[in-house]
Amino acid sequence: MSPRDPGPTRAAVLLSASQLLESGGPEAVTLRAVGEAAGVSRSAAYRHFDDKAALLSELARLTLTEMAESIRAAAIDTDSRVNLRLGSGAYVDYALQNPHHYQLIFGETPLSAPTPELEAAADEAMAALQHLIERAQTAGQLGGGAPRELATVLWVLLHGIAALQITGHLHEPRTLDGDTRLNELLDLALASFRPVE
Amino acid sequence: MSPRDPGPTRAAVLLSASQLLESGGPEAVTLRAVGEAAGVSRSAAYRHFDDKAALLSELARLTLTEMAESIRAAAIDTDSRVNLRLGSGAYVDYALQNPHHYQLIFGETPLSAPTPELEAAADEAMAALQHLIERAQTAGQLGGGAPRELATVLWVLLHGIAALQITGHLHEPRTLDGDTRLNELLDLALASFRPVE
DNA sequence: ACCTGAACACCGTTCAAGT
DNA sequence: ACCTGAACACCGTTCAAGT
């Protein structure tokens, strides 16, 4: 029906790789294991992707697109400051619920040269954050300044929280459980984010 | 002379691993290559470290210690707000000049269980940041709030900038060269970091 | 057009054997 | 006490061969 069916094998390979990644981490994603889980041989993936890096790059693109959608879907409050918090929370939540996928995008970068498609997906996520900033600025609830630059600062902040939490560097104080601790850190970070002017 | 000489082989292995890491990235750090560069066999490292992860963990510890020292050494201005900027700049500069070492510490975490020694080194770096916060607070140039929590927010910010830059996600606008762009982002982030009260 | 299976050049790690 | 070198069980990738 669709102009070009991506083919069941390609879809099965991507799905298997995604499941293996989140359940067993990056070292579980071998082409042998992917092939077995998808019911094909270990070299079948090469008929649909240039190499392993290209397969992972496509997986990263899909993840980034889903993440951007998750941010947009969460930011539904009428108060723009609440909205900023909801969208930011969605970003961090998504990262923590899919840590290995998140690390695939923002981690050690095994994706050598980022493809234009991957950059486009990253821009989409960035646009979702920038939209949060612009709405808050319009409502006068956030200082002035170039929205693009402020969105970058917000991104830097959210990525810092997500990345340090995933890699286990945000472990204290131990008196609070992880979720509470993280929400309080996000609250403090956003409350301290007050662009001048 | 010293109570227990760590042995020339152990030191040579660590140095070779460090050089291979920064010059060729993580995939260049194979025990075969390390052994050859250090002038020993490929299995000699097992006489000094439990496994490859333990070797990398020790390398991460040394890096973290050096980084903390670099932050301390940079923060020498009498004005505490300038000091905050100098220390923050030293953090980001160190990360960008040793990207693979920085990623070894804060990246995909191949170091399974962090050793107590590694955690102690991380606390040292964290303490350097907290000291910057406390000095600025004492001088009345930064709002109130728990220094420990604010230092965590600062850390999150600096890590976000360093990590996104290293992984190539901070590439626009292309009208500026990388250093200028990064310094302006750091300036904006610190100017927007204004804890309430 | 898509897939297989053997083969190749790599890994980390182990272990009997040497000094 | 420290090191070697062969061996083992893995990788990603290629390629002739099949349908």
pLDDT at position B79 is: 94
Domain borders along chain B are 1-49, 53-191
Average pLDDT over residues B168-183: 80
Residue B162 CA to chain centroid, in angstroms? 10
Q: Looking up tokens 């042998």, which residue turns up?
A: A32
pLDDT at position B143 is: 84
pLDDT at position B178 is: 72
Does the nearest atom of strand C lie within 7 Å of A47's Cβ? yes
Fold of A53-191: Tetracycline Repressor; domain 2 (1.10.357)
pLDDT at position B112 is: 56
Instruction: Write down the pTM of the prediction.
Output: 0.93
- pLDDT higher than 50, residue A122: yes
Enumerate the nucleotides of strand D whose atoms come under 7 Å of any protein CB.
2-6, 10-15
Q: What is the pLDDT of residues B111-149, one digit of tens each?
A: 457 789 999 999 999 999 999 999 999 999 998 889 999
Find out whether B16 and B38 touch, Cβ atoms under 8 Å.
yes
- pLDDT higher than 90, residue B110: no
Average pLDDT over residues A134-154: 94
Which class for A153: exposed (0-12), middle (13-18), buried (19 or more C-beta within 10 A)? Answer: buried
Q: pLDDT band at residue A3, thresholds of 50, 70 and 90? A: very low
pLDDT at position A179 is: 83
Kindly state whether A130 is in contact with chain B, defined as any CB-CB distance less than 8 angstroms: no
pLDDT at position B4 is: 42
Neighbouring C-beta atoms of residue A192, cutoff 10 Å: 21
A143/A120 Cα distance (integer angstroms): 28
Which A positions 35-94 lie with beta carbon below 8 A of chain B? none
Q: Shortest CB distance from B103 goes to which of A108, A161, A185?
A: A108
Architecture of domain B1-49: Orthogonal Bundle (1.10)
Averaged confidence pLDDT in chain A: 91
Q: How close B156 gets to chain A, by Cα (Å)? A: 4
- pLDDT higher than 90, residue B74: yes
Query: Which residue, B37, B41, B6, B9, is CA-closest to B22?
Result: B37
The reply to whether residue B196 touches residue A195, judged by beta carbons under 8 angstroms, is no
Q: What is the pLDDT of residues B97-106, one digit of tens each?
A: 999 999 999 9
- pLDDT higher than 60, residue B2: no
Does the nearest atom of strand D lie within 7 Å of B41's Cβ? yes
Q: Which residue of chain A is at minimal alpha-carbon distance from B109? A: A167
B95/B82 Cα distance (integer angstroms): 20
Enumerate the nucleotides of strand C whose atoms come under 7 Å of any protein CB.
2-6, 10-15
**Residue A119: half-sphere exposure toward Cβ, Cα within 13 Å:** 10
* Radius of gyration from C-alpha coordinates of chain A: 19
Q: How close A13 gets to chain B, by Cα (Å)? A: 23
The DSSP secondary structure of A71-136, one letter per residue, reads HHHH---SSHHHHHHHHHHHHHHHHHHSHHHHHHHHSS--SSSPPHHHHHHHHHHHHHHHHHHHHH
Q: How close B109 gets to chain A, by Cα (Å)? A: 6
Q: What DSSP element (H or E) covers A162?
A: helix A147-166
The reply to whether residue A164 touches residue B158, judged by beta carbons under 8 angstroms, is no
